[in-house]
């Protein structure tokens, strides 16, 4: 699945910066096992190198930062009954997420394109998430019967009001400025300014991000917040659906239609995961997510969801009836 003979992660030191380029553009830089191992190694090298004052993470190809993880491969492993292979993939990815959170120096992601799932995981735990007008951020896992992972069970419940539940359940896609409004991104910088920002970062000047950032006035997310809070800040799916029905707007009807397309089991697991995540630290959330991957990737909805969205691309998944989410959370979790 490699695009070219080039490495799928290009790690360099450029001046005072460690630079990381996710380089699998034909797969929208989705993280595969090789990229995850290379990220892990690069983080170790950068930590050991005092000349690296900050890290800059980017995606190659101009279309994507990182579209997620290599879920097609995880599906193959799950269908082959290779539980150890599935576990190794997620354990490696989540270890990178934790290492980024604990990196201790500025970790600056330049998000100029699609950033979903695993792409959120390699950026959101860092200090600076810079987005452009081309950025598109989402946690779309309920569409493939997974759940918001890569440490987002820690991040999403800490967003304001009903935002975390809304993003996690519907997979809503946020443009760059909207991601800043929601709190997933930290700075908005126009794409045209990225070369100059990059040059300043190579000189070790992390504060350049603040100088290049443009103000983000209240926009679509601010306008939707009252409705998002009224409809999504509830503890159960029946309460969320009832609130959407009571809302009676086109937006609310659209949210109900989106929820109706997602895996029912995945929606129930996701809501419970965020509820539990609100009370744990990042390490606890990552451990909970890893335990959950064992049961969720074995549930038939996962293989079916990846089939419908990414393999056959018919977007017509045949979901199983909703399972009790408690049966998917490992005991003690
Ligand atoms: C939900 C997801 C993912 C997704 C689409 C969803 C996901 C993921 C990808 C993806 C996209 C393009 C690629 C690729 C993977 O899409 O996790 O390899 O080239 O990785 O609706 O969770």
Among protein residues, the one whose CA lies closest to atom 17 of ligand 1: 68
* Distance between CA atoms of residues 249 and 144, nearest Å: 27
Angle at 130 between CA 128 and CA 132, to 5 degrees: 175
Average of per-residue pLDDT values in the chain: 96
Query: How far, in Å, is the centroid of ligand 1 from the Cα of 68?
Result: 5
Architecture of domain 9-327: Alpha-Beta Complex (3.90)
What are the tens digits of pLDDT across the range 216-270?
A: 988 999 999 999 999 999 999 999 999 999 999 999 999 999 999 999 999 999 9
pTM of this prediction exceeds 0.85: yes
Distance 202 CA to ligand 1 centre (A): 31
Q: Assign 198 a pLDDT band (cuts: 50, 70, 90).
A: very high
The residues annotated with a catalytic role in the active site are 69, 118, 141, 149
Distance from C-alpha of 270 to C-alpha of 153, rounded to nearest angstrom:
9
| Residues across the chain | 333
**Residue 19 phi, psi (nearest 5):** -115, 140
Helix (H) or strand (E) holding 170: helix 163-170
Percentage of the chain beyond pLDDT 70 is 98
User: Which residue from 30, 139, 145 has its CB within 8 A of the most atoms of ligand 1, so it is best to mutate?
Assistant: 30
CA atoms within 13 A on the CB side of 184: 33
pLDDT digits (tens, 9 = 90+) for 288-297: 999 999 999 9
DSSP-derived secondary structure for 88-104: HHHHHHHHHHHHHHT--
Domain boundaries, the chain: 9-327
DSSP designation for 297:
T
The H or E element containing residue 66 is strand 64-66
**307 pLDDT higher than 70:** yes
């Amino acid at each position: 699945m490699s695009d070219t003979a080039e490495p799928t992660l290009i790690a360099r030191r450029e001046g005072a910066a460690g630079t990381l380029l996710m380089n699998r553009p034909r797969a929208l830089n989705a993280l595969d096992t090789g990229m995850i191992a290379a990220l892990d190694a690069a983080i170790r090298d950068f930590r050991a190198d005092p000349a690296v004052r900050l890290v800059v993470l980017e995606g190659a190809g101009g279309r994507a930062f990182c579209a997620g993880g290599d879920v097609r491969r995880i599906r193959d492993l799950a269908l082959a009954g290779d539980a150890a292979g599935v576990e190794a993939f997620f354990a490696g990815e989540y270890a990178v997420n934790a290492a980024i959170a604990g990196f201790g120096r500025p970790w600056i992601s330049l998000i100029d394109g699609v950033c979903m799932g695993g792409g959120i995981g390699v950026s959101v735990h860092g200090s600076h998430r810079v987005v452009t007008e081309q950025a598109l951020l989402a946690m779309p896992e309920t569409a493939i019967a997974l759940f918001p992972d890569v440490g987002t069970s820690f991040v999403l419940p800490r967003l304001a009001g009903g935002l975390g539940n809304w993003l996690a359940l519907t997979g809503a896609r946020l443009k760059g400025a909207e991601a800043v409004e929601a709190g997933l991104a930290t700075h908005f910088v126009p794409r045209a300014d990225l070369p100059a920002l990059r040059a300043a970062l190579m000189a070790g000047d992390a504060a350049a991000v603040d100088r290049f950032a443009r103000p983000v006035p209240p926009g679509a997310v601010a306008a939707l917040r009252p409705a998002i809070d009224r409809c999504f800040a509830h503890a159960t799916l029946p309460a969320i659906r009832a609130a959407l029905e009571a809302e009676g707007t086109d937006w609310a009807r659209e949210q109900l239609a989106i929820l109706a397309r997602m895996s029912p089991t995945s929606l129930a697991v996701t809501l419970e995961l965020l509820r539990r995540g609100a009370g744990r630290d990042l390490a606890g959330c990552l451990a909970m997510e890893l335990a959950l991957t064992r049961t969720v990737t074995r549930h038939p909805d996962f293989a079916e969801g990846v089939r419908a969205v990414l393999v056959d691309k018919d977007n017509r998944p045949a979901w199983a009836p909703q399972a009790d989410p408690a049966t998917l959370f490992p005991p003690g979790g």
